[in-house]
Amino acid sequence: MKRGLLYIAFWLFIILAYGCKETYEPDVNFSATNLLVVEGFLNGSGVTTIKLSRTTNNSSGGSVTETGAFVTIEDESKNAVSLLESSRGTYMTPRAFIEGNRYRLLIKTKNGSEYSSEFVTLLHTPEIDSIPWSRVRDGVQIYANTHDRNNKTRYYRWEYEETWIIVPKYESRYDIIFNVNANPRDVFPYIIFPRRPEDAFPDSCWQSEKSKRIILGSSSKLKEDVIHLAPISYIPPASWKLDTRYSILVRQYALSAAGFEYWENMKKNTEGLGSIFDPQPSEIRGNITCVTDPKEQVVGFFDASTAEEKRLFISRKEVSAWKYNSGCVEVSAPDIADSLVVIFPHNIPLNYDMGPKGGIYTGAAPECVDCRLKGIPVKPDFW
């Protein structure tokens, strides 16, 4: 009897655990839609760029650019500089601004809504002292060192842009085209012929990638305003970025205490998600408000600082035992239709060699021959 009750209890548990599952669809509040998003800062060292967009719900697939707005930067004496819309939702000005002065951002959208930031001081950003790197977890960790001898900065933000060269693994001396005069019954309806010099593939291409993470640093708890080995970027083991030569341009910006707090909260909300134990999203208040409707929330923080930048190059020969493998292999086939159709035209012909038993064609995958499939064949000015 006892064994029978245990048997029934077991199957009852199975039914309850697996037979009665329903898809859980949490209630999602999409009330925070159509909010103005302000991205950018007052650049005291060059062109100032402000991007405007509107939030949408998750099902719509992204933000919507805010076009046709009137955007200005104003100082405390009411002197204003207008920003021109260079592309949809992007407003720019090359005008110079003065360190130590206070400025605010003013926005008037085409529907008549007006927005204003608080006045912020144009901060001086110290120079980047160095960009060291080291091998970490079989990859390469890149850092930034900086300091302010006047102990005035204390809060920092960094961005970077990586660039690396792509060198094709193979050179193609032959080309292949479809033979328009081929018989429909031909096993191999293609023509392979010597490649003309003007049709040669580029010998090098370059790929670039901008930082997507929020990178911050602070010396507020230190006696001296010194940042030592702030982690900037990590190249994972065997990455193709270090196949030949790699470069990173690091940009550094000074922040106010309020600006640092804003970016720190933004960092937590954008990078700290993933499990129930991580910090949950919170309402991030910036320093921009809607003048015509004070209850309307605005996403963004208006910063003002000069910018400093420094570039680093790393060659593969400087990094011992870098194990990048392109996966490229050379294939070959006799100059016989039944054999050529096995490797062409999905491979690109490389060479033709005459062996003791006849001619042999070699080939390789397109991405191993044409670097334009991975990058741009235009050498950067700094390279």
Distance CA 79, CA 129 (A): 35
Q: Is 96 helix (H, G, I), strand (E, B) or coil?
A: coil
Question: Rounded distance, CA 129 to CA 144, Å?
Answer: 8
In 3-state terms, what secondary structure has residue 198? helix
Contact 360, 353 (CB under 8 A): yes
Contact assessment for residue 120 and residue 302, using Cβ atoms and an 8 Å cutoff: yes
Q: Which two tokens stand for residue 54?
A: 């509107």
103's tokens: 């400025």
pLDDT in single tens digits along all 383 residues of the chain:
444 444 444 444 444 444 443 433 334 344 567 899 999 999 999 999 999 999 887 554 567 999 999 999 999 999 999 999 999 999 999 999 999 999 999 999 999 999 999 999 999 999 999 999 999 999 999 999 999 999 999 999 999 999 999 999 999 999 999 999 999 999 999 999 999 999 999 999 999 999 999 999 999 999 999 999 999 999 999 999 999 999 999 999 999 999 999 999 999 988 765 443 444 455 678 999 999 999 999 999 999 999 999 999 999 999 989 999 999 999 999 999 999 999 999 999 999 999 788 899 999 999 999 999 999 999 999 99
Structure tokens at 202: 């580029």
Q: Taking the CA atoms of the chain, what radius of gyration do you get in angstroms?
A: 30
Ordered by start, the domain boundaries in the chain are 36-126+253-311, 174-200+329-364
What are the backbone dihedrals phi and psi of residue 265, each rounded to the nearest 5 degrees, phi first? -65, -40
DSSP state of 341: H
Backbone angles phi, psi at 369, to 5 degrees: -120, -40
**Strands of the 331-334 sheet, one edge to the other:** 331-334, 358-364, 348-355
**Within a 10 A sphere around the Cβ of 121, how many other Cβ atoms?**
14
